[in-house]
């Protein structure tokens, strides 16, 4: 089954404790992206990657890191989480061609930073 998976689905942590949220897709998509969703603000792009070893900042990259060592994986790293990073996080992937640029989303990771 074609899908985007994220782990963990739920995480409660404390300020300053490094964490990684994994994202994996099995559709051989070039493009992958991370979003956070907060009430009233919609989805905001954190980082995206057009291909292996190519990553770029989105609209809200502060406090986050990403890596793209393999095509299928795009982990999101919070080196020192803070309470304002409490949010619902979605990973997405896409072929991103002129004909097929719809995004497929993972199920989301609900993060709480105390």
Partner 1 sequence: RKEVEQDPGPFNVPEGATVAFNCTYSNSASQSFFWYRQDCRKEPKLLMSVYSSGNEDGRFTAQLNRASQYISLLIRDSKLSDSATYLCVVSGSASKIIFGSGTRLSIRP
Contact between 64 and partner 1 by CB under 8 A: the answer reads no
Residue whose C-alpha is closest to residue 46's, from 93, 106, 91: 91
Contact between 69 and partner 1 by CB under 8 A: the answer reads no
Task: Give the residue with the Cβ less far from partner 1, 63 or 105.
Answer: 105
DSSP E strands, the chain: 4-7, 10-13, 19-25, 31-38, 42-51, 54-57, 65-66, 76-78, 87-94, 104-105, 109-113
- List 12, 17, 101, 114, residue binding partner 1 (CB under 8 A): 101
Task: Give the residue with the Cβ less far from partner 1, 12 or 14.
Answer: 12
Residues at the contact surface with partner 1, assessed by CB under 8 A:
31, 33, 35, 40-45, 48, 50, 56, 88, 90, 96, 101-108
């Amino acid at each position: 089954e074609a899908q985007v998976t994220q782990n963990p689905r739920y995480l409660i942590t404390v300020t300053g404790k490094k964490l990684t949220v994994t994202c994996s897709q099995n559709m051989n998509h070039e493009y992958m992206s991370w979003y956070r969703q907060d009430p009233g603000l919609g989805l905001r792009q954190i980082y995206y990657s057009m291909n292996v070893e190519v990553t770029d900042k989105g609209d809200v990259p502060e406090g986050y890191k990403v890596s793209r060592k393999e095509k299928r994986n795009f982990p999101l790293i919070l080196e020192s989480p803070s309470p304002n990073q409490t949010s619902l996080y979605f990973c997405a992937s896409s072929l991103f061609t002129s004909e097929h640029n719809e995004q497929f989303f993972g199920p989301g990771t609900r993060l709480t930073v105390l």
